[in-house]
Structure 1
């Protein structure tokens, strides 16, 4: 396995772990699951604060909604695969950003 492949895989894992931690923390505090409906609360500081949260929590929310939709609505395989690819790519990007931020802060070598 090349170093680039390993780095990409690690970024995907970190992105999904970060998304899961954020959504679980939100659910523990707010007593309701996080979702994209946080953006539909009108123009308020709470809505603007939801944007950075959703940027990093989106892969988990996409996969949760996709798997739930697959069970409840019997969604087609193509839709599930497309949502998985989108969530994986989004996770890779957020994981890469998170790792770059940790390196810039001097936490990682």
Structure 2
């Protein structure tokens, strides 16, 4: 599982001009089953996305396809982790530690 943290690197006007395309991109990733949760950070200097998967290269490629990333108005920080515990409704996303 991955945490994708994006931080805006451009003025809000540039972000707003791309927001509709970014939201459509988010919808595509939800439909593909990659994204589980997303939202704006507080304060509003970026966002956070929770993504499922085991292939970091694939997640990095997906992040790079974000219109925000393509237009260089944000920077992504991607953190991989093993989701060994979840709330009951999210149990399908639980992972086993590989020791």
Indicate whether the TM-score tops 0.5: no
Q: Specify which structure has the higher proportion of strand.
A: 2
TM class by smaller structure: 0.3 to 0.5
**Structure of larger gyration radius:** 1
Q: Specify which structure has the higher proportion of helix.
A: 1
